[in-house]
Amino acid sequence: MRRRILTGLSLAAGVLFALWLDHFVPGVIAWLFGALAGGLVAWELARMGEFRELGLGRALAGGLLATAVASALLAYRLALEPPAAGSAGLLDDYALLVGAALAGALLGGLFRAPPDTQPGAPLRPALLQAVWAFPPLFALALYDLVFGVWALGALIVLSKIGDNFGYFVGRSIGRSHPFSTISPNKTTAGCVASLGGGIATGLAFAALGGLPAGRYGLLGAALFGGLVNLGAQAGDLIESVVKRRAGVKDSSGLVGASGGVLDVVDSLLVAVPVGLAVWPWLFPALD
């Protein structure tokens, strides 16, 4: 428990420092984070348990590189010509990142297949993992350039804060396990507490000015916090499925008590596209 708390505090301090730096070079720090985290996630997935034998490395590297290049070009365009309608077209940009991840993984996977596997066998999981993992991480830079560093910070905090509510409440009073075949430690009480924490944190950000006064006022902030939290919980469950198929408990040991990089960023992988989708609906004042 102590190691987990210390690791969490260290990661939080690093995120705060990165957000402070982002004021000076908007979009750049977020893109560099996406590149670093994406590279480490690709390395973990390629070496994760039974995935190691599939030879996913080149397909994942291709997906990562293609997504990185596409996101850099999109970010450059946004930096030169911020969209007049705020978030209009940002979902189209996200779709382009998904397409780049698919194309890059497909191209990279064609170079080599281990001789003891069926043709195409390494490619199928690599395509799914590339689309799931890389576009959300690089989309943080686009989110930053369009909505600003406060909105980026709110998205990151909302995607992670529920983990803490869910962990401590689940350990204390959790009894039922709704996802026992996927994530045995996740409890109903923990899931509800995580959602409540996301809603409360959304309201707190609105009170501090971190979320704009949108169409629905405080209700909009609560909805944003709750929806992002549901996306974060979905990301955590998807990662649990991936790890179960690989036959491992943690994606790696790179982050000490918190496991691997994928264990840390898993909640972002669904929360980011959810945030992109609901922001223009809830906060049209930025449009």
- pLDDT at 85 (0 to 100): 45
Q: How far apart are CA 83 and CA 77, in angstroms?
A: 9
pLDDT in tens, 233-275: 999 999 999 999 899 999 999 988 778 999 999 999 999 999 9
Tokens for 5, please give them.
Answer: 């708390």
Q: How far apart are CA 36 and CA 244, in angstroms?
A: 25
> What letter does residue 250 receive in the DSSP assignment?
S
Q: How far apart are CA 197 and CA 97, in angstroms?
A: 31
3-state secondary structure of 184: coil
- pLDDT at 286 (0 to 100): 43
Whole-model pTM: value is 0.89
Is residue 101 pLDDT above 60, yes or no? yes
pLDDT in tens, 222-232: 999 999 999 99
Q: Please report where in the chains the tokens 């911020």 appear, as a residue.
A: 82
> What letter does residue 54 receive in the DSSP assignment?
G
Q: Please report where in the chains the tokens 């946004």 appear, as a residue.
A: 78
Q: How far apart are CA 189 and CA 168, in angstroms?
A: 10
